[in-house]
Amino acid sequence: MVDFVRLQQDAAQYLEDHEGNKRIATAWPFSEAIATPEFGYVHHPLNRAIWADGMRRADLAKLNPKDFDVLVLYSLVWPANTRLLAIRPIRTMLELFMDLNFNATSEEVRTTLGFVPVIRWTRGGQWIEIYLPDK
């Protein structure tokens, strides 16, 4: 849990310093963290946040890329064996039959929304990543 909080603090600080005046799309709980200074992640609200339903490709496909300038994704699961989950047929089968909430990959984000990763933090097997439009 500490790793999760620290990652979100790092990303929130980066957004406040570099992208604070832009429209940010992300999912809960990070959406609340950057909109509510009382939580201690930001000094002023980044209240132009657009809330995504989740981090899957299907969730991101519901977003209109014209409605936001920055996309923030973070790990929702902490798999024990990430190499096994990198095998596409295994990942697809688990997604279909177990309804696991896997994040969209960077390639899926690029093809779905036209955004590319610009910075990523990792800690304890978890990660958070900031995307900007591909130019």
In terms of Cα–Cα distance, which of 50, 59, 54 is closest to 112? 59
pLDDT (tens place) for every residue of the chain, 135 residues total? 788 899 999 999 999 999 988 999 998 889 999 999 999 999 999 867 677 777 888 888 899 999 999 999 998 765 555 666 677 787 677 666 655 556 888 898 999 999 999 999 998 888 999 999 997
Q: Is the pTM above the cut of 0.85?
A: no
